[in-house]
Copies of this chain bind each other. A is one copy, B any other.
Amino acid sequence: MLRGSQVVSVVGATGLVGSEIARLLLLRGFPLSGLILFASGKNPERTVCLAGREVPVRPFALDALRGTDLCFLAAGGEFSRRNAEAIAALGVTVIDNSSAFRMDSRVPLVVPEVNADDLSENSGLIANPNCSTIQMVLALAPLHREWRLRRVIVSTYQAVTGAGLMAAGELARQSDAILRGKAVSGKVFPHPIAFNALPHIDKFDSQGWTREEKKMRDETKKIMGDSSIEVIATAVRVPVFRGHSEAVHAEFMRDVDLDRARLVLSRSPGIELLDDPANNIYPMPIDCAGLDITLVGRLRRDPTSDRAICMWIVSDNLRKGAALNAVQIAERLV
């Protein structure tokens, strides 16, 4: 655990997640005695706008992290694999946003509302889970405590910002081109994303599963601390800028009481129940941008099983799905 004010660094500070982490540290009044921003590449110094001020961004160098108490890594898996352990070896507590160390048994993988206790034993490196996993686990964990989760079948509707800043530009450019009847090109996605749906996020394995789908399965087991939970995911990119949605079918070990599920969810931290379909009220990605909470709605009893329910979970993939969860981990550490 860390005590008092901290010297904090953010690597990847010019990216969507890194800049959001820096903003949230200021916004949430994190006890800072210094905030140092790094770009992941060796690019010339730049600045990012934080709380109305232009704050300089330095090129990353391991030596420059000496004296830092806490370091957020938001520069991708390859960068983390190369540098995270070396940074931790300097005595810096590292919160890594990438997938590089998530399944490492020595590294806690934490959604603070669910398994903050796992932070008590850490060797200076903590992993922030996958965006799609965080919001799903946040909604499932309180129900798991009541009825013990057995199996989840989930289809995702994931926003392009999950693939970074360039992906958002690609969606905007392609959408504009199609509306004007022009040809479409792209670099980030293997096919046009505008007015399309891509059942393809991250790489495929030989069995036809994507890494994203396997992350949702493996990370859920680890965060919930129950390897018997099964997650069968189909991860799909949709033309949405911000906010991941998930259609979830959850099967438990015991009969589920839907009213009790509503009550449990409405009392759970980080969740807002938004479930009044008669009045067209349900979670939507356009309503979650910039929100810290995860929205849950469309709760339904599975008509074929008393042990299963359906629901619809929406969250800001850059906030709770990435930056906010990382900052909340840091808040638990101080």
Chain B nearest CB from A184 CB (Å) reads: 9
Say whether A197 contacts B238, CB under 8 Å. yes
Say whether B280 contacts A191, CB under 8 Å. yes
Chain B nearest CB from A224 CB (Å) reads: 16
* A198 to B190 alpha-carbon distance, docked (Å): 25
Q: Which residues of A are in contact with B by a Cβ distance under 8 Å?
A: 151, 153, 155, 157, 171-172, 175-176, 179, 190-192, 195-200, 204, 207-210, 230, 232, 234, 236, 238-241, 245, 247, 249, 275, 277-278, 280, 282-286, 297-304, 310, 312
Q: Report which residue of A175, A196, A282 has the largest number of chain B beta carbons within 10 angstroms of its beta carbon.
A: A196
Say whether A285 contacts B196, CB under 8 Å. yes
Say whether B190 contacts A280, CB under 8 Å. yes
User: Which residues of B have CB within 8 Å of A301?
Assistant: 207
Closest residue of chain B to A172, judged by CB?
A: B179
Main secondary structure of the interface of A (DSSP, over half): mixed
* A188 to B210 alpha-carbon distance, docked (Å): 35
Say whether B241 contacts A277, CB under 8 Å. no
* A200 to B298 alpha-carbon distance, docked (Å): 9
Say whether B310 contacts A198, CB under 8 Å. no
Say whether B199 contacts A298, CB under 8 Å. yes
Q: Which of B234, B241, B299 contacts A195 (CB 8 A)?
A: B241
Chain B nearest CB from A285 CB (Å) reads: 6
User: Which residues of B have CB within 8 Å of A200?
Assistant: 277, 280, 282
User: Which residues of B have CB within 8 Å of A157?
Assistant: 157, 197, 236, 238
User: Which residues of B have CB within 8 Å of A282?
Assistant: 199-200
5 cross-chain CB contacts under 8 A = A155-B247, A192-B286, A197-B285, A239-B240, A249-B249
* A284 to B302 alpha-carbon distance, docked (Å): 29
Q: Which of B151, B191, B275, B278 contacts A286 (CB 8 A)?
A: B191
Closest residue of chain B to A206, judged by CB?
A: B278
Closest residue of chain B to A251, judged by CB?
A: B153
Say whether A197 contacts B240, CB under 8 Å. yes
User: Which residues of B have CB within 8 Å of A151?
Assistant: 304
* A196 to B191 alpha-carbon distance, docked (Å): 20
* A158 to B326 alpha-carbon distance, docked (Å): 34
In the A-B complex, list the 9 residue pairs whose CB atoms are closest, starting with the nearest. A155-B155, A155-B247, A234-B247, A204-B277, A190-B280, A230-B304, A196-B286, A208-B300, A199-B312
